[in-house]
Structure 1
């Protein structure tokens, strides 16, 4: 059996986004997370299952999702921030998706 290794160009590293580069609504949600709310949508702060397995593997309950409102929409839209950790107000790390979990970018300071 032949097993081919990946070349460095084929290794996919997580994309990043600076917290300052988030849309205004994303910055507001990050502040709400830090304060523990209030959140606009009932699903905000609920467990994110990571069924897509695009985020680092963790036990169920580690990740929580938050809606990033999209101006002009009267529903939740596709943008989310997903944070991981045992302390919701002080997460270990957060990820931004603007395409409803198809891709994520690690939020860095």
Structure 2
């Protein structure tokens, strides 16, 4: 595929998605909150599988207790970040629905 063909394909994609650039322009402040929620979901999925494997392979009670405390701390921080991100998104999208004068 030559450069001219790639430019043509990119131009066609841009013309098919005109709403994406409009959405990005009006909701740019919501992107960090959406990214934070995505990171929390990924950490949760990785944490469940990795944490269970860690607890299964560990023989020392002290290591198990330390791992459980670490998991509890990560869950606590994740809950706080998720609440703040969801609150920001609710405020942002409620503000964007208000009619302009």
Tell me, yes or no, whether TM beats 0.5: no
Higher RCO, 1 vs 2 (CA within 8 Å, ≥6 residues apart): 2
Larger radius of gyration between Structure 1 and Structure 2? 2
Bigger share in helix: 2
Q: Give the TM-score normalised by structure 2.
A: 0.21
Greater percentage in strand: 1
